[in-house]
Amino acid sequence: MKIILACLLVLAISVTLSNADCFIQPLKLEISDKITGCHDWNGKLHEFGSHWRNADCYDCSCSRDGISCCSSFATPVSYDEEKCVSIFNKETCTYKVVEKNDHSKECPVHGWVG
Exposure on the CB side of residue 73, measured as CA atoms within 13 A:
19
Shortest CA distance to 114 belongs to which of 75, 80, 57, 85?
A: 75
- The model's pLDDT over 2-44, given as tens digits with 9 standing for 90+, comes to 554 443 334 444 334 445 689 999 987 666 667 789 999 888 9
pLDDT of residue 20: 67
**Sign, CA torsion 93/94/98/102:** negative
Q: Confirm whether pTM is higher than 0.85.
A: no
In order of their start, the domains of the chain are 21-71 (2.10.70.10), 75-113 (2.20.25.590)
The rounded radius of gyration (Å) of the Cα atoms in the chain is 19
> Does residue 91 have a pLDDT over 80?
yes
Higher pLDDT, 30 or 86: 86
- The model's pLDDT over 42-55, given as tens digits with 9 standing for 90+, comes to 889 999 999 999 99
Q: How far apart are CA 39 and CA 107, in angstroms?
A: 40
